[in-house]
A and B are shown apart, each in its own frame.
Chain A
């Protein structure tokens, strides 16, 4: 791909060629390739990112810092965090749309949305931005769920969520729900603390093939009562955990579906479709009400 020569690049940024070369020496950005003849060739993407950053910042070093982050590519998680920091839900929507032009929904969720939320969660003093991020992400995942195709598999998956309200962990569960729906499963997401009598109709309607314990808020006692209730209702569906949801630090006999939505969906599909599932179901059936 041909690059942009120094004069044209300088013109695009509204600076002199000397200024552009001085930035290269001082900041190492924008970093041109060299032609065989030694001429500088700038990347349009870098120049575009810098051009936008210059209009949004108050000095050159911060503009270059912003442009570098954007240089990570279309719809990077840092850009999504930037949208949260500006409380700009429109920009966040746009970044996800850009990402969907290049990636699947699953990849957009796992490579853009969830990493951005992880960054937003990890920062101190940015609680308002994190809350906005969680609320916006909840809305986005719900919107994506609404346009999922109808279930194409007979298998039902019942997710028991123990994550506290508006958190990254809760969004990981919602992302799993979306992934399972898109994989054709019939899915129901219920709170882990639901009483047995409230669960009966849901269990009968779904007739789950698998139960998945999600979130990190359940105690061993709650899990025990949950499994007892499920078995009392006549279900022998095996129980799995997602993202270390079992509240024990040592080993246990609840198989894990993995740490990401796509990994969990892949494992569940493999187990439902393959012989491994039959063995797990049999073990779960023998285990009775033991979690």
Chain B
């Protein structure tokens, strides 16, 4: 089953070079370009200035390619620690997805073991994304899974299956 999770080829080529990074809001999913904040002021720009409800995280620009995407931020213990507004619409859970086990929200035709492995790998620091088919609320989608942070977590970007 492992071969069903394919690694994004364009990112794979860049892995030897410096990763291209982008910052994004965990709530409104706006993109803010590469990180520029000085290390001695970690809170400067930590909270999204647009919506005031999301935290600004960093990920590979190959994982999150467009603003206002539907995504989940998942910790290494496979719990959802944040979700974008668009993802909440896709998941359609009245109480929100925060704190829920990821595998209670979505499954994968490739197997939940494969999905869990991809998420844990990303949550442990692998920025380069891999793509895996997922089933969310009876909808067939694709999840692009890459690392993000800080604190370290996996970013699952939910998208329609590429034809």
A-B pairs under 8 A by CB, number: 66
- On whether A59 and B44 interact (CB within 8 A), knowing A19-B52, A22-B52, the answer reads no
- On whether A58 and B46 interact (CB within 8 A), knowing A19-B52, A22-B52, A23-B52, the answer reads no
4 extra A-B contacts, CB within 8 A, seeds A19-B49, A26-B53, A60-B27: A12-B43, A59-B27, A59-B54, A62-B82
B45 interface residue (CB < 8 Å to A)? yes
Chain B, 138-163, CB within 8 A of any chain A CB: 150-151, 153
- Of the A-B pairs whose beta carbons lie under 8 Å apart in the complex, a sample of 12, sorted by A's number, is A19-B49, A19-B52, A56-B151, A57-B55, A57-B81, A58-B73, A59-B26, A59-B82, A60-B52, A60-B54, A60-B55, A62-B81
Q: Are B151 and A54 in contact (CB under 8 A)?
A: no
B57 interface residue (CB < 8 Å to A)? yes
Q: Are B98 and A62 in contact (CB under 8 A)?
A: yes
- On whether A51 and B53 interact (CB within 8 A), knowing A58-B73, A58-B151, A59-B26, the answer reads no
A61 to B57, CA, bound (A): 15
B38 interface residue (CB < 8 Å to A)? no
Q: Which partner residue on chain A sits nearest B25 by CB separation?
A: A59
Q: How far is the CB of A54 from chain B (nearest CB, A)?
A: 6
| Chain A interface, DSSP helix/strand/loop, else mixed | helix
A55 interface residue (CB < 8 Å to B)? yes
Q: Are A63 and B52 in contact (CB under 8 A)?
A: no
Q: Are A58 and B44 in contact (CB under 8 A)?
A: no
1/0 per residue, CB under 8 A from A, across B45-67: the answer is 11101001111010000000000
Using CB atoms and an 8 Å cutoff, list the residues of chain B in contact with chain A. 26-27, 41-47, 49, 52-55, 57, 73, 81-82, 98-99, 150-151, 153
A238 to B71, CA, bound (A): 66
Q: Are A58 and B55 in contact (CB under 8 A)?
A: yes
Q: Which partner residue on chain B sits nearest A16 by CB separation?
A: B49
Q: Which partner residue on chain A sits nearest B27 by CB separation?
A: A59
Q: For B43, B47, B82, B99, which residue has the most chain A Cβ atoms within 10 angstroms?
A: B47
Q: Are B81 and A59 in contact (CB under 8 A)?
A: yes
A15 interface residue (CB < 8 Å to B)? yes
Q: Are B43 and A60 in contact (CB under 8 A)?
A: no
Q: Which residues of chain A have C-beta atoms less than 8 A from B42's C-beta?
A: 55
Q: How far is the CB of A243 from chain B (nearest CB, A)?
A: 33
A193 interface residue (CB < 8 Å to B)? no
User: Among A14, A23, A59, which residue has its beta carbon within 8 angstroms of that of B43?
Assistant: A14
Q: Which residues of chain B have C-beta atoms less than 8 A from A18's C-beta?
A: 52
A18 to B52, CA, bound (A): 9
Using CB atoms and an 8 Å cutoff, list the residues of chain A in contact with chain B. 12-16, 18-19, 22-23, 26, 51, 54-63
A60 to B73, CA, bound (A): 13
Q: Are A54 and B81 in contact (CB under 8 A)?
A: no
User: Among B43, B52, B81, which residue has its beta carbon within 8 angstroms of that of A58?
Assistant: B81
Q: How far is the CB of B43 from chain A (nearest CB, A)?
A: 4
Q: How far is the CB of A115 from chain B (nearest CB, A)?
A: 22
Q: Which residues of chain B have C-beta atoms less than 8 A from A22's C-beta?
A: 52
Q: For A19, A51, A54, A59, which residue has the most chain B Cβ atoms within 10 angstroms?
A: A59
Q: Which residues of chain B have C-beta atoms less than 8 A from A12's C-beta?
A: 43
A48 to B82, CA, bound (A): 22
Q: Are A51 and B52 in contact (CB under 8 A)?
A: no
A278 to B53, CA, bound (A): 67
A267 to B52, CA, bound (A): 55
Instruction: Name the 3 nearest CB pairs between A and B, nearest first.
Output: A14-B43, A58-B82, A19-B52
Q: Which partner residue on chain A sits nearest B77 by CB separation?
A: A85
Q: Which residues of chain A have C-beta atoms less than 8 A from B98's C-beta?
A: 59, 61-62
- On whether A13 and B81 interact (CB within 8 A), knowing A22-B52, A59-B27, A59-B98, the answer reads no
Q: Which residues of chain A have C-beta atoms less than 8 A from B151's C-beta?
A: 55-58
Q: Are B47 and A54 in contact (CB under 8 A)?
A: yes
A252 to B78, CA, bound (A): 50
A154 to B32, CA, bound (A): 72
User: Among A13, A26, A62, which residue has its beta carbon within 8 angstroms of that of B47?
Assistant: A13
A57 to B150, CA, bound (A): 8
A19 to B49, CA, bound (A): 8
Q: Which residues of chain A have C-beta atoms less than 8 A from B49's C-beta?
A: 15-16, 19
Q: Which residues of chain B have C-beta atoms less than 8 A from A57's C-beta?
A: 55, 81-82, 151
Q: Which residues of chain A have C-beta atoms less than 8 A from B45's C-beta?
A: 14
